[in-house]
Amino acid sequence: MKALILAAGYATRLYPLTKDRPKPLLSIAGKPILEYIMEQLERVEEIDAIYLVTNQKFILNFQNWLANFQMQKRVKILNDGSTCDDDRLGAIGDIRFVLEKEKLDNDLLIIAGDNLFQFDLSRFIKSFEKKKALGIALYDIRDKERARNYGVVTVDENQRIVKFEEKPSRPSSTLIATCLYFVPKEDLPSINKYLEEERRRDAPGFYIQWLAKREEVYGFIFKEKWYDIGSLESLKEADLDYRKEV
């Protein structure tokens, strides 16, 4: 199995912090967000390689970070060639870029580089390996106003996704999709098919919304802490919370 970290965004909402530093390298309790993710991936035996996709602007930031970071698993940093927010490939475009560049034909774990989470990735992966189906990590945010900023999900008694709405104005629930996906290798071609049919390449939730209408997609509901670092407020909240645990 391979892992892919999406880190090619420009995080303009966090300016000036991210003007010269990529969001995954912002510090939470004295440590870059990315290192929390890497520590989680290090524990997963099935993963033998990690790919991180970034852009032309931040490639050196990540290369310098990796040169000073100790890890057992192989890590490769890829440059998608974009230089600014206007010419970015988008998250789904970046997934396709890595699949084609590295000729990947393996089960794939996809993680957004701004996600902080504390649940066991091995448990997450095993729950979908048994089903041989694409799966996503779900979290009850318990606030319908905040849910409007995410993909809102409805699942059946088997945790199959029966409804997915990307950033709805009137959320039907507070159960949201995080950008943490298990994609079995059999489903990798569906990413190309989606991009042939749809123009929206940024929010990965649009791909899940599209796919859930065509085949079985399952959710994994976790209750451990999770932060989506998308604003100064969420950055400060996560930093304060993690400092309590240090």
Helix axis angle for 91-102 and 189-197, nearest 10°, is 130
- Beta bridge mates, 137: 220
Give the number of other Cβ atoms within 10 Å of residue 29's Cβ. 14
Give the chain's mean pLDDT.
Answer: 90
Instruction: Look at residue 246 and tell me whether its pLDDT is greater than 70.
Output: no
Average pLDDT over residues 6-17: 90
pLDDT category at 82 given cuts 50, 70, 90 is very high
As a whole number of angstroms, the distance between CA 6 and CA 118 comes to: 18
Give the domain 2-245 fold: Spore Coat Polysaccharide Biosynthesis Protein SpsA; Chain A (3.90.550)
Instruction: Look at residue 245 and tell me whether its pLDDT is greater than 80.
Output: no
Give the number of other Cβ atoms within 10 Å of residue 62's Cβ. 25
Q: What percent of the chain has pLDDT over 70?
A: 100
Instruction: Look at residue 200 and tell me whether its pLDDT is greater than 90.
Output: no
Rg (CA), the chain: 17
